[in-house]
Each structure stands twice: as C-alpha cells, then as structure tokens.
Amino acid sequence: MSKTSEILLNFINSGYSTDDLKKACLKALDPFFQNKSTIERFWTSNDLLSAFVFTVRYHYDEVFNCGLLEVLKYYRQSLEQNRDLTLKIMSETLFQFSQKENMMFTVQRNVDNIKNSDSFEYVMLLIKHIGEVLEIGTKHLVSELWAIIRIVDGAIPDYERIRALDFGVVTQNILETKRLMNILKIEPLSIKLSDWRNIAYHHNYNIVDDTITCYYGRKMNSFTTNIKGIEEYVHKIVRSSNILSIAHSIIILENLDFIVSKGDKIHDASKVYLREDLLSESLRVGLLSQSFLLEKVEITPEIASISIVDLLCNSVEDEDYKKRRIHSSQFLYEVWQLYGKPRVEVKYSTVQNRECFISSVDSSVCEKIGRGEKEITYLAEHFNFTIG
C-alpha cells in the first residue's frame, strides 16, 4: 500500500466522509489549478489524490508552494506561447515517462526498507535513494522543463537533442536563466541536483562514524555533514522531485482532452504502459476516495476481477447497503479502463459479510462509453449482478 493509500485510509478511519475528503481536496489544490472544474472531474484519480496528499504534507513549506507555482507558471506561459508544440513535447514522451513511473514505484516502496540499525549502511542507503530519485524520477522532468523554458523564451527547441544532454548541462542551462533556483539547488550549500546525482552514482563520499564527506563538481569540491544533515538533504531533494512531478501531472490533467484527441496522431501518446501492481495501486487510491478498500485483483486473458470491502457498511443489514452495492458497480468501467479485458467484475463485501454482491459487464458496453457513444449511465442498464 502506497503512502497516498495509507493517508486516505487514515482519513476514513478518522471519520472523514467522501464529501469531506472531496472538499479538502478542492481547498488544498485550488491554488494550483486554473479551473476548479478540473479538480472536481479528476478528484478520485490517483494523480490528483497524490497531489492532494503532497500539498497537505508540505502545507507549511514555502519552498514547496512557491516552487510548484513557479514550475506551473512556466508550463502555462509555454502553452500560451505555443500550445501545440508544448503539448506535443509532453505527449511524445508519455511512454518514456510511464516507464520512469514504473521504476519509481519500486524506488518508493524500497524507502520502507531503509533502516538505521547500522549507521554506515544507513547512510549508503540514503545516498543511494538520492541517486535513484534524481536519475529515475527527476532528470527527465528537468529536460522537459528546459524545452518548455526555451519555448517561453521564443525558441523552437530540439527536444530530442535536449533529452540527449547530460543532466548537469540541462540543469546549468536553466540556472543561467535565473529560474528554478530553489528547486534545482539544494540549500544551505546551493549544491545542484545534478551534483547530488553524481555524488550518489559515483559514490563520491566517505563515511567515518557520524561524519560524511561528499565530493562534487569538476574540481571535486567537498563538504562535510552528519547523518541528520544527510536526512535533511534527502527531504529537500525529494521535495524538489515531487514539485516537478506534481506540476507535470497537473498540466497533463488540465490538458488531457487535447492529448487524448491527438493520441492517434502523436507518437507514443497512446502507448503508455504501466505495470500491473502500479495499476492496482492507482485503483486502490481511487476506491479509497469513495471509502472502498481494494482487497484483491485477479487478471486472466478473459476477465479482470476485483474484490472490494465497503468501509462504510458493517453488514448487509445496514440501511445504506443497497445504495453502496449499486455504487460499487460503477467501478466496472474504471476496471475496464485499466485492464481492457473482454469482461470485468466487481465483488462487493461489507466489513462483516463476504462477497454479498457481484456485478459484471462485457467490454463492449464499456467500449461504447469510452468512444463517447454512450453516457456512463449506459453501464447501469447493461451490467449483470448476483446477490449473495
């Protein structure tokens, strides 16, 4: 279970209703979206709920809030300058970005395995985490931002060439424009993210008890810190990575209709590939927004089946049981969107009762909704169900 899922589950266990959660989401994200309707439309999606969780976590962090607004400003200025080129750049790398997301899913899970029982190993794992966050989760976003900034400045960037540049070159190019200073440089020593990446990947550091000396740059400059200092640097580096990732997600959501409409014309735009456990986690987050807990996902060539528990209904005797079980059938379309199997199925349980309602539908029904031929209400007219 991801941190986002854990936090949403804590909200539910603390008595937050779906409406409470939605209102909190709208309030927290409103400063970062151009149109509140986008938040309302996607508020149950993994990308938007993850953004919500991060804005709550960094609520009092001025660097995060100002940094996110600054990055969003450049994306939006680029869209104003040349909308087609900006979205073409973002669309053409969706497949590569999805691959990075697949890798970061493992990186994020491995954070829980970083223990501090042995100080030497603990520091190595922390610095290794820095390297993975920057190489896998950050470098490609910085390259995209350099292309975006070039558009803002009136140029027509060669994105393929930019993507081939070293991380350090792209970082320095942006810094020379006096942009993203608080994101691409980590205080208090103003060390660039690209230098931190090299420290980690080239193991340019020494560890002696609680003293860590790191070396960076062509002249191999050095600084000394302690374990607490390394922990603080990890926090700041991950914060910068999160700022870039959340800004990218917000811009994608705000312009999703255009990207989808051009999906058959833009290379790679319709070829996003996400690993199955990441898809399951994305589904888990969306279900938790509606107070349903995902228990199991079973995938075969013929059917995608999920088992969910209604966290708001203790038993089939609850008055809201019938409404909630019907509500659960709406997830059939979402399951089809994620897995695209010939048939999809949702097995509904209350806290006390097992599989007391099962709904299913053929993909042909979902396909008509997906193509825009039918409204989502078409699903309610054609799904099959059994009551346990």
pLDDT at 262: 62
pLDDT at 269: 39
List, for residues 292-317, the tens digit of each pLDDT value.
Answer: 999 999 999 999 999 999 999 999 98
pLDDT top residue among 134 and 3: 134
pLDDT at 264: 47
Question: Which two three-digit tokens encode residue 222?
Answer: 């050095």
* Residue 293 φ/ψ, nearest 5 degrees: -105, 125
Q: Report CA 120 to chain centroid distance, whole Å.
A: 31
State how far the alpha carbon of 147 is from the alpha carbons of 181, 184, 256, 346, in Å.
Answer: 17, 16, 20, 43
* Mean pLDDT for all residues in the chain: 91
List, for residues 169-194, the tens digit of each pLDDT value.
Answer: 999 999 999 999 999 999 999 999 99
Instruction: Fill in the amino acid letter for 48.
Output: L
| Per-residue confidence band for 263, with pLDDT thresholds at 50, 70 and 90 | low
Structure pTM? 0.90
> Is the pLDDT assigned to residue 380 strictly greater than 90?
no
pLDDT top residue among 261 and 242: 242
> Is the pLDDT assigned to residue 265 strictly greater than 50?
no
> Is the pLDDT assigned to residue 100 strictly greater than 90?
no
List, for residues 339-377, the tens digit of each pLDDT value.
Answer: 989 999 999 999 998 889 999 999 999 999 888 898 888
**Segments in 185-266 forming alpha helices (H):** 193-201, 227-254, 256-261
- Please, which residues have CB within 8 angstroms of residue 357's CB and are 6 or more apart in sequence? 325, 328, 347, 348, 385, 386, 387, 388
The C-alpha atoms of residue 234 and residue 129 are separated, in whole angstroms, by 8
List, for residues 41-52, the tens digit of each pLDDT value.
Answer: 999 999 999 999
> Is the pLDDT assigned to residue 53 strictly greater than 60?
yes
Q: Are 333 and 366 in contact (CB under 8 A)?
A: yes
> Is the pLDDT assigned to residue 268 strictly greater than 80?
no
pLDDT at 342: 96
Q: Are 143 and 165 in contact (CB under 8 A)?
A: yes
